[in-house]
Structure formats: C-alpha cells, structure tokens
Amino acid sequence: MVGRPLRTPLRTQTRRRTAVPLDLAADVVTLTEALVDMPSESGAEGPLADAVEAALRALPGLDVERVGNSVVARTDAGHGERVVIAGHLDTVPEAGNLPARRDGERLYGLGACDMKAGVAVALKLAAAVAGRPLHRDVTFAFYECEEIVGDRNGLAVIAARRPELLAGDLALLLEPSDAGVEAGCQGFLLADIVVPGQRAHTARAWMGANAAHLAGDVLTRLHAHEPERIRIDGLEYREGLNAVAVRAGVSSNVVPDECVVTVNLRFAPSRSPEQAEAYLRGLFPEYELRVTEAEPGALPGLDRPMAAGLVKALGVEPRPKLGWTDVARFAALGTPALNCGPGDPQLAHTPGEFVPMAEVRACEERLRDWLLGQ
C-alpha cells in the first residue's frame, strides 16, 4: 500500500539488531506473533530479513537468494507450472501497538494485519512444501520497502535486477483480503489541474482575476462527476475521481494568479495509464493538466486455468481489488496475480490493527491443501 515517508526511520540510524531465530514448526498464529514482535519499519527490515533468510536456508529443496533486504526461495523440480507467493516484510511506523497481544480470538499489533500474518502463512507454506513432491514449482518472495516510495520497493528492485526470480504462471500476494480472493487491482493517476488567473492587489481586486475563485468550476465538475463501473471477468471495478489538494495564494494581500487542483483518479485495469490520462483530459479540456504519477492496474486473470483452479479449491467468491497493490508489478511481468491473505484491509495502518486467529489458520490450511493436493 504505497505511501511516502514522513521521516527517516530511526532504526536505520542505529546499530543493526541481531536476528532472532524464527521457529517454522510453531503454529501459524504463534509465528505471526513472533514476526510482529520483530520491528521492521520500512528501511529497517534487515534483522527480519536475516531471520527469514536463515529459516528458509534451513529447509530442504529450496534455492535461497538475498537481494538487499528481500529474500527469494524457489523449488526447482522442472515442473511445467510455477506459482509465486509473495509478501512484504515492512510495516508503517509504530503507533503504540507493539508488542503483539492476544485478546480472545484476535491478535493485535503493528503489522498483524498488514502483513505479518500473510508473511507467517507464506513461511509455513515454505516449510510445508520443502522437500515434498509437488505438481508445480513454487517461489516464495519476501520483500522490503512496500510501504514507502515506489523506487525502493523490494519487488520492483528484484523485477529490475533479477526478473527471472519472479517468473511464474500465477502469483499470490498475501495482502490482507479477509482470507478470500481479491482479483487484479485498479490503476491510479495523480495530476494537477492548473487554473489561471491574473494577479492584482486585494485592494483593487477587480483589476485581476482570482484563480482560487475560478477553480470553483473544476471542483463543481468533480463533485458532479459520476465514476464509471466497469465489469471484467464478472467483477465490477468502481472507478473514482477526487480532488485531494487545492493550492493557491501568493500573499495575504495579493489576488492569486494560479490555483492548482490535484486530483486522484482510480481507474479500472482495463484502461492503460495513457487511456486514463486521455479520459481525464477529456473531462477538463480547457485547462492545463500535469500528470505527476501514474501506475497501471492489473487485470484479474480469472480466466486463466491456474487462477480459476485456485478460486475453486478455496471455495470463495472472488472480489475486485478496489485499490492498488503489487499485483500490478507481477502483471507488468506477464504473470497474472491475485491478492489472497488474512486480515481486513480496512484495518491496515491503524493503531488498533488486528487479525482474527481463525482466519490466519484457515488461510494457511486452504493454501497448503491447494499446493500439496494438486
């Protein structure tokens, strides 16, 4: 869930901690708890990556490679199919929610939902398949810096340096998805709509043109805009177009000569970023429009046999992913990908985030049965 850091993580400025061994024989909830108790704010994943690497290297039948603070482990039995199971190691900054704590059937703590529980599931799956005869090869990717600016994203770094490590016929991103399947993801585009005016002294405002006032036309259109609903593979992707910032003003006694309205467009994966930009320009043809960031979405790929087989085996009704996740990075590599992990995505990044223990266990069990049973 991409964002921008407000500060440099303090732990990147201090002595690196010694990795605490991970017990992959422990049940998946206990493993999740241990992962939560290993702080790994974006940029400070080193100790956790060390622990994950050590645990994976102790398993038979896996080729393990380290890329920065990301770890990739692969079986290589020469099967005709390969599934990639991926999850990020980092979390957002702490909000008084460490260490982990149990309350009834909930496990609370930083990253419990996003996505230490998903990482625990992936580690348990790696332990389950290691050295076992399988019908397809499996890649496990644990990567750094998902929660901050995209050029540091560990998955993007691996894709740029060693794309062969991420090759597969289907990718599962264990982002919180209520232990169900959220297929594909929306693309997003950020753009500035520039409204011109004419500068003047506020005592003689009639001699100018107030760009902030003129921006009302843009805001009115945005308020009246009805986002499209687009169906792909039977799933409805609801687009969204919103103003997220309005900037104007030179001085308290100057009529502003420019107002910039920043808009966020979430578009269905059937559109390319270029098509999304053309769509936005068509809505505001008379204004200058500056695109500042754009990322493509990912088609759901539910028509692919392997994806369809997984959905059937899990016995769930797939939903569209109304947001952007790293499944788009797999799609860019030509690999269809699904979001499939424990936890409620609406709890991610909140001080009170938690994951239902039963959901973590169910996710591990269903994915293990699918990997070992087909």
Q: Which residues are catalytic?
A: 90, 146
CA torsion, points 226, 231, 236, 238, in degrees to nearest 10? -30
Tokens 């204004």 sit at which residue?
Answer: 287
The Cα–Cα gap between 262 and 245 comes to 5
CB 326 within 8 A of CB 146: yes
Closest to 160 measured CA to CA, from 143, 184, 148: 143
Q: Give 113-134 as a DSSP string.
A: IIIIHHHHHHHHHHHHHTTS--
C-beta neighbour count of 184 within 10 angstroms: 29
Sheet holding 106-108, edge to edge: 101-103, 106-108, 354-356
CA torsion, points 202, 208, 209, 212, in degrees to nearest 10? -30
234: left (phi over 0), alpha (psi -120 to 50) or beta: left
The Cα–Cα gap between 304 and 325 comes to 20
